[in-house]
């Protein structure tokens, strides 16, 4: 790609954000983290109380891109075949022969919204594992490739526990980012009330294509990161583990630390954040910012931490203060 092609491609990102912001008021950090997940080629888990436009955000994102979109509403009676698809017996009217034909499920789309993913049993949750990791689905011994790009966003409600099935750690680790949605500010909430209770409706137009998303994903991997910053990321992830850390805070409050996938996720998302801001080099600010959504679901605190209401975000904050940044790294 020439420099002109790259600049033209990067110019699509502000356009994409503008289209989404026609509908979504505020939530700047959440929107950035969703786009970073998309650019880094991973999947995101959105958590927020009802009414914070989680579903609307994903639907608007799909409208702002020229990609196919499917929504799966997770319920306790949902089966794996309801997601992946199933074989049906059909007959060739010309020959009279019968054969099995695979009917693709809603997972076969570019953007998939797994709404309230914690409302379905682990058996159905696990049906997403292969799709999320390998970008393919295996049914009756045959492997079917998912369309590219493939991007899954799951939502869950943090306040309701009755009738929910917490995601196992193995599946949580498949999500690149764990994105928490907070309440809007007073001014943002006023703008929401004004824009959603009248007759005016904003029209969202596609600002980017699937092919351009794939090109941007390749561009993300070409963003440079210094060796010192790579070493810092490695030290940061290893310091989350009680058996390899020098932090007494971690030893006191953490049961299990993050695995190597956390380091990969932190580097890729830091590169994506740099590119989203028009830079071609990762800084310490990128790592600091992405450490929370990357690590908050990959660290398992113990009973003492739960009793003292110490969250994984507080653990990450303590960790960032404990592991010193090399002086040669750009802040």
Q: Is 163 left (phi over 0), alpha (psi -120 to 50) or beta?
A: left
CA–CA distance, 246 with 274 (Å, rounded to integer): 30
pLDDT tens across 62-75, in order? 888 888 888 888 88
Give the residue ranges of the chain where pLDDT is below 70.
Answer: 1, 159-163, 328-331
CA atoms lying within 13 Å on the CB side of residue 205: 3
User: Helix and strand tally (H, E) in the chain?
Assistant: 16, 13
pTM beyond cutoff 0.75? yes
Helix, strand, or coil here: 319? helix
- Residue ranges and CATH numbers for the domains of the chain are 3-198 (3.40.50.300), 223-322 (1.10.8.80)
CA–CA distance, 125 with 109 (Å, rounded to integer): 18
DSSP 8-state code for residue 166: P
pLDDT tens across 220-259, in order? 999 999 999 999 999 999 999 988 888 888 888 898 888 8
């Amino acid at each position: 790609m020439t420099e002109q092609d790259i600049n033209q491609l990067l110019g699509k990102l502000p356009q994409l954000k503008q289209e989404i912001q026609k509908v979504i008021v505020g939530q700047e950090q959440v929107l950035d983290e969703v786009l970073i997940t998309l650019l880094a080629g991973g999947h995101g888990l959105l958590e927020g109380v009802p009414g914070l436009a989680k579903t609307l955000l994903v639907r608007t994102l799909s409208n702002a891109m020229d990609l196919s979109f499917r929504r799966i509403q997770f319920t306790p009676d949902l089966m794996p075949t309801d997601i992946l698809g199933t074989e049906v017996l059909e007959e060739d009217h010309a020959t009279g022969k019968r054969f099995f034909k695979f009917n693709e499920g809603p997972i076969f789309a570019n953007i998939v919204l797994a709404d309230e993913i914690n409302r379905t049993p682990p058996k159905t949750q696990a049906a997403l594992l292969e799709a999320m990791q390998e970008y393919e689905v295996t049914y009756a011994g045959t492997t079917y490739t998912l369309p590219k790009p493939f991007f899954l966003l799951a939502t869950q409600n943090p306040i309701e526990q009755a009738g929910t099935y917490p995601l196992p750690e193995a599946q949580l680790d498949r999500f690149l980012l764990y994105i928490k949605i907070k309440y809007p500010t007073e001014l943002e909430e006023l703008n929401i009330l004004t824009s959603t209770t009248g007759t005016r409706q904003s029209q969202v137009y596609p600002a980017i294509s699937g092919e351009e998303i794939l090109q941007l994903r390749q561009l993300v991997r070409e963003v440079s990161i210094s060796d010192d910053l790579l070493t810092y990321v490695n030290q940061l992830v290893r310091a989350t583990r009680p058996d390899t850390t020098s932090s007494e805070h971690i030893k006191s409050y953490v049961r299990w630390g993050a695995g190597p996938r956390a380091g990969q996720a932190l580097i890729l998302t830091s590169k994506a954040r740099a590119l989203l801001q028009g830079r071609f080099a990762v800084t310490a600010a990128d790592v600091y910012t992405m450490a929370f959504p990357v690590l908050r679901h990959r660290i398992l605190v113990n009973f003492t931490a739960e009793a003292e209401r110490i969250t994984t975000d507080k653990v990450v904050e303590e960790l960032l203060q404990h592991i010193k940044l090399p002086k040669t790294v750009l802040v």
